């Protein structure tokens, strides 16, 4: 908590006034923002009495001095007596929680990687954010293995009262556009019109002034002057960041990694703009020109490979670009791209080694799990595939695609109890009775497809628990009972299924 300004004890005017004043004025709260008087060596000022919120930002400290105020002065009227005076902002501290930012960002990212609201994961790492945006998948959707997912870093820099954000290290799987273009689009959707964009660089201007303008009028106070208030600290703490600004403060020192990202972003403004427009030919030409000026630059090579990896017949060219830049496994995400390229040219062993390194170094659990899933699909042996999927589920326990893949793999290996455990977990992940019904119906069909029709009846019964009049589940249960030898009961269930189908003007039943 910020330290309260001390009341001076050696000023005789203040001592005389304190003896006369009956009590300290109470905080004033209007519109949910509470202010209180601050009396210190610099005079009288206003400050937040308790933290306040602006969008997804929590303001923990905001203090402004009131110039021209000299002791002795009557403060018996409290904040109301001084709120019409214009002060000067002296200090501002804000906190940004990763969970709050995830909730704020998710609805704003609708339509970028998917038409629905995506799943957003954000982690704090020194003066940058690691962001992962994935298409939301339902627990009953077995065909979601091609769902787009993108991860990227956002570095923060303090430039006077501006905050500059730089997007870098973009990587992803099954994306409709190059990863960098997708990352820029996601960041733009989150920040909206508050930020000015140039390529992969976003500038939030006069942030301290904007926060003061948002908060103080809610408490009925005038907006203070914010001249010479600079951001002097940008640091991560646990599950978020703390940013501090003060009058005449020194700008926060950027990290070496951040400086490299900003250098690359400034070099690639025109190329990134072309990529965002979808003009990949122009973007690639601009990236190549930049690579001539900065040979072996990993971030530039990454952007070129993003484009080449999307075009058939360019796998060897993309691998050559990475090898020449000496970034063949140069960081998180390179392994995913390299693994996909190596699979395309048929080098399975090298591809799986690359995917393993990528998954182990990837901080975003969702993308790491997808890399393990890619390796599982490429595995020649079901036992190996099951082990890859074990690692995928360990990294992302809520990854429904990995759960379904592992359930099918375990079923093929005859590990029925283990497969059933995955289905039960998918049921727990499903939201609503319709989705839970679909999970068990899909599982029952998988048992039938694996030649285990005689053991599928309990699964169809689980499905009917959530939707007792569903013709497909009834038809599947009837067929399973007949196959088990319970002919009379099975025929009765099948007849019930046909009645329901006719009543609904139904469709042809397919349960095998």
- With tokens 């390194």, the residue in question is 357
Q: Which of 420, 439, 458 is the last residue of a domain?
A: 420
Residue 41 in any domain: the answer is no
Most confident among 62-66, 177-181, 337-341, 502-506 (mean pLDDT): 177-181
The reported pLDDT for the residue numbered 205 is 92
Q: Do both 403 and 472 map to the same domain?
A: no
Q: Do both 412 and 450 map to the same domain?
A: no
Residue 425 pLDDT more than 60? yes
Q: Do both 411 and 332 map to the same domain?
A: yes
Q: What angle do CA 152, 306, 167 make, to 5 degrees?
A: 25
Q: Do both 379 and 443 map to the same domain?
A: no
Residue 1 pLDDT more than 90? no
Q: Do both 340 and 403 map to the same domain?
A: yes
Q: Do both 512 and 434 map to the same domain?
A: yes
Residue 340 pLDDT more than 60? yes
**What's the CATH code of the domain at 493?**
1.25.40.10
**CA–CA distances in Å: residue 87 to residues 55, 62, 245, 283:** 24, 12, 16, 49
Q: Do both 461 and 412 map to the same domain?
A: no
Q: With CA atoms as reference, report the closest residue to 211 among 34, 55, 100.
A: 55
Residue 380 in any domain: the answer is yes
Name the more confident of 82 and 128.
128
Residue 192 in any domain: the answer is no
Residue 425 in any domain: the answer is no
Q: Which of 420, 452, 482 is the last residue of a domain?
A: 420
Q: Do both 389 and 365 map to the same domain?
A: yes
Residue 440 in any domain: the answer is yes
Residue 327 φ/ψ, nearest 5 degrees: -125, 35
Name the more confident of 106 and 228.
106
Domain count, the chain: 2
Tokens of 335: 């392994």
The reported pLDDT for the residue numbered 512 is 42
Residue length, the chain? 512
* Interval 456-506: pLDDT, tens: 999 999 999 999 989 999 999 999 999 888 999 989 988 888 888 888 765
- Average pLDDT rounded to a whole number, residues 363-377: 94
Domain residue limits at 464: 430-512
* Interval 258-282: pLDDT, tens: 898 999 999 999 999 999 999 999 9
Residue 449 in any domain: the answer is yes
Q: Which of 420, 442, 477 is the last residue of a domain?
A: 420
Q: Do both 398 and 345 map to the same domain?
A: yes
Q: What is the spatial distance between Cα 112 and Cα 135, in angstroms, rounded to a whole number?
A: 9
Q: What residues contact 508, with CB distance under 8 A and at least 6 apart?
A: none
- Other CB atoms within 10 Å distance of the CB of residue 191: 18
Q: Do both 472 and 389 map to the same domain?
A: no
Residue 512 in any domain: the answer is yes
* Interval 3-32: pLDDT, tens: 333 333 444 443 433 343 333 344 555 457
Q: With CA atoms as reference, report the closest residue to 7 among 82, 71, 88.
A: 71
Q: What is the spatial distance between Cα 342 and Cα 376, in angstroms, rounded to a whole number?
A: 15
Residue 97 in any domain: the answer is no
């Amino acid at each position: 908590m910020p330290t309260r300004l001390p009341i001076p004890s050696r000023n005789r005017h203040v001592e005389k006034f304190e003896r006369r004043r009956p009590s300290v004025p109470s905080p004033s709260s209007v519109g949910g923002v509470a202010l209180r008087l601050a009396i210190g060596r610099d005079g009288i000022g206003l400050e937040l009495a308790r933290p306040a919120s602006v969008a997804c930002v929590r303001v923990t400290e905001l203090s402004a001095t009131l110039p021209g105020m000299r002791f002795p002065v009557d403060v018996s009227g409290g904040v109301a007596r001084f709120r019409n005076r214009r002060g000067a902002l002296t200090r501002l501290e804000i906190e940004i929680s990763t969970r709050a930012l995830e909730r704020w960002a998710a609805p704003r990212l609708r339509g970028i990687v998917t038409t629905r609201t995506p799943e957003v994961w954000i982690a704090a790492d020194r003066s940058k954010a690691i962001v992962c945006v994935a298409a939301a998948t339902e627990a009953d959707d077995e065909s979601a293995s091609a769902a787009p997912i993108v991860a990227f870093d956002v570095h923060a820099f303090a430039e006077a009262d501006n905050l500059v954000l730089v997007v870098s290290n973009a990587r992803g799987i099954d994306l409709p556009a190059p990863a960098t273009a997708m990352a820029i689009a996601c960041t733009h959707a989150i920040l909206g019109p508050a930020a000015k964009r140039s390529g992969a660089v976003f500038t939030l201007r006069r942030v301290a002034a904007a926060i003061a303008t948002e908060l103080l009028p809610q408490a009925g106070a005038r907006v203070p002057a914010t001249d010479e208030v600079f951001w002097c600290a940008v640091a991560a703490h646990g599950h978020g960041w703390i940013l501090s600004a003060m009058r005449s403060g020194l700008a926060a020192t950027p990290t070496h990694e951040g400086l490299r990202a900003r250098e690359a972003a400034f070099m690639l403004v025109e190329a990134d703009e072309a990529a965002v427009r979808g003009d990949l030919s122009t973007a690639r030409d601009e990236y190549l020109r930049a690579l001539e000026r900065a040979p072996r630059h990993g971030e530039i090579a990454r952007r070129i490979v993003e484009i080449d990896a999307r075009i058939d017949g360019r796998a060897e060219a993309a691998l050559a670009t990475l090898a020449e830049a000496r970034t063949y496994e140069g960081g998180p995400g390179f392994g995913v791209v390299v693994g996909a390229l190596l699979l395309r040219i048929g080098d399975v062993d090298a591809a799986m080694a690359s995917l393993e390194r990528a998954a182990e170094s990837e901080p975003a659990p969702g993308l790491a799990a997808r890399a393990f899933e890619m390796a599982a699909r490429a595995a020649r042996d079901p036992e190996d595939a099951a082990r890859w999927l074990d690692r995928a589920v360990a990294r992302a326990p809520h990854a429904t695609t990995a759960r379904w893949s592992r359930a099918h793999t375990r079923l093929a290996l005859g590990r029925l109890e283990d497969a059933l455990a995955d289905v039960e977990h998918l049921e727990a992940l499903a939201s609503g009775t319709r989705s839970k019904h679909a999970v068990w119906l899909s599982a029952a069909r998988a048992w039938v497809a694996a030649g285990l029709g005689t053991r599928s009846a309990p699964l169809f019964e689980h499905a009917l628990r959530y939707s007792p009049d569903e013709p497909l589940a009834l038809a599947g249960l009837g067929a399973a009972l007949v196959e088990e030898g319970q002919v009379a009961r099975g025929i009765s269930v099948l007849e019930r299924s046909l009645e329901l189908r006719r009543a609904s003007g139904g469709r042809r039943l397919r349960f095998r």
